Structure 1
């Protein structure tokens, strides 16, 4: 195969699928030719869902399951409140980072995940319903402000998505940057892409671009040749 000849890597047929997009008449014959199985969308690649609506809550079910599995390991142990705070900060808050760096976190999902964190903090590994002595936003405040330093999933999600706006403005020669610019175009100044008006296949970047508007308000200019300065519009 060309891939094996060019890369020197060997394709694992057990893990490979041929996924048709639209109607493909001879997909079975093609699969037999390559030795692959025939797959369907939605599927997953490197842990990221393919072909599933990016706003779908079911996409996040695996993350919630990982939360509960991790807690199942801890509930057999006696862990002090200080230990629970450490576990939340070091483990639970970091489990969904990969997904949150790509997808917008739906409100229903972050409420579920935060509830698991709250119940673990105040009720222990069994997730018992006990009174929450402090409001969660205060728990998420920095220690210097009297909080416990737990990461807010909502703020973390915005920060991770906003980083793509920073990368778009800086990584001009990256392949993904070129693809985005060709598909959506870019605003004068090359800070960000134009907003997408299409209905399908653009949801992920549309959500990233929306959060990116929060980031670009903090961008500034350095003295240069004036090529990208818009005299009447720049602030």
Structure 2
């Protein structure tokens, strides 16, 4: 898998595959003159004996990747159904707000920032994980306080109801996306892709792990997409 200058190799754990990977990287270097910095690369074995992983890392001259880890800014391998796992996302939103000095912004300025930035900060996590309701409520509270120009501990009344802010324009609202709706919509998109792209690689992997129907009708323990069965939950 390729993303910009980032590459991920996935395969069955065996010595022949490790040798093949070494040869591929060597051929790439000889063909293009670009040498891979193995000291910045990492290898991970899923359900593989640690001694074998250590040996492979030593052979390749790379580091060992362990869970929990981040890829493209998103946490992987953790228990994202727990509130504490989202604390970093919440802190990041609050940190961004503190830099904007909301009291110096007009309603129009705060509205623009609300739509363009505050909803996008947690979007990568929400595209993969079903966010706990407490986390969604706290993030919405942060957004609401920012829009109304209130300090976090303020008890002042809001001039505009948050339900109005998140309502569609044709219903008299301001059309700011609800994080709950955004999270569920992004996850439902995976469901649509699952049925629309039956022959894609990721769909075949899901079927191999979670049965032919993708485990849609069963609420599984995992909270990672495609845990499509978890979409039955209709909390509001």
Which TM class, normalised by the smaller chain length?
0.7 to 0.9
Across the two proteins, how many residue pairs are aligned to each other? 207
Cα distance, 1:179–1:212 mapped onto 2, change above 3 Å: farther
Q: Give yes or no for the alignment of 1:183 onto 2:203.
A: no
Deviations 1:177-205 (A, max 9, x none): 11112222335xxxx65545765xx4324
Cα distance, 1:184–1:34 mapped onto 2, change above 3 Å: same
Q: Does the CA-based 8 Å contact 2:43-2:62 persist in structure 1?
A: yes
Question: Any gaps of 5 or more consecutive residues in structure 2?
Answer: 1-21
Deviates more, 1:107-116 or 1:60-69: 60-69
Offset at residue 171 of structure 1 (A): 1.1
Cα distance, 1:79–1:172 mapped onto 2, change above 3 Å: same
Q: Distance in 1 between matches of 2:138 and 2:178?
A: 13
Q: Distance in 2 between matches of 1:21 and 1:42?
A: 13
Q: Give yes or no for the alignment of 1:49 onto 2:75.
A: yes
Question: Any gaps of 5 or more consecutive residues in structure 1?
Answer: 215-235
In the alignment, which residue of structure 2 is the partner of 1:222?
none
Which of 15, 25, 28 is the aligned partner of 1:4? 25
Q: Distance in 2 between matches of 1:212 and 1:169?
A: 17
Deviations 1:84-113 (A, max 9, x none): 111101110111111111100111111111
Q: Distance in 1 between matches of 2:115 and 2:219?
A: 38
Q: Does the CA-based 8 Å contact 1:19-1:39 persist in structure 2?
A: yes
Q: Distance in 1 between matches of 2:46 and 2:62?
A: 16
Deviates more, 1:52-61 or 1:114-123: 52-61
In the alignment, which residue of structure 2 is the partner of 1:29?
55
Cα distance, 1:10–1:107 mapped onto 2, change above 3 Å: farther
In the alignment, which residue of structure 2 is the partner of 1:152?
178
Offset at residue 174 of structure 1 (A): 1.0
Q: Does the CA-based 8 Å contact 2:107-2:147 persist in structure 1?
A: yes
Q: Does the CA-based 8 Å contact 1:54-1:103 persist in structure 2?
A: yes
Q: Distance in 1 between matches of 2:196 and 2:185?
A: 17
Q: Does the CA-based 8 Å contact 2:44-2:65 persist in structure 1?
A: yes
Deviates more, 1:101-110 or 1:14-23: 14-23
In the alignment, which residue of structure 2 is the partner of 1:60?
86
In the alignment, which residue of structure 2 is the partner of 1:173?
199
What TM-score do the two structures reach when normalised by structure 2? 0.75
Deviates more, 1:162-171 or 1:19-28: 19-28
Q: Distance in 2 between matches of 1:171 and 1:43?
A: 29
- How do residues 76-95 of structure 1 correspond to structure 2 at under 5 angstroms? 78-95=104-121
In the alignment, which residue of structure 2 is the partner of 1:233?
none
- How do residues 113-152 of structure 1 correspond to structure 2 at under 5 angstroms? 113-123=139-149, 127=152, 129=154, 130-152=156-178
Offset at residue 176 of structure 1 (A): 0.3
Q: Give yes or no for the alignment of 1:99 onto 2:125.
A: yes
Offset at residue 158 of structure 1 (A): 0.8
Cα distance, 1:76–1:195 mapped onto 2, change above 3 Å: closer
CA RMSD of aligned residues (A): 2.9
Deviations 1:37-62 (A, max 9, x none): 23422112222222211313233223
Q: Distance in 2 between matches of 1:118 and 1:154?
A: 14
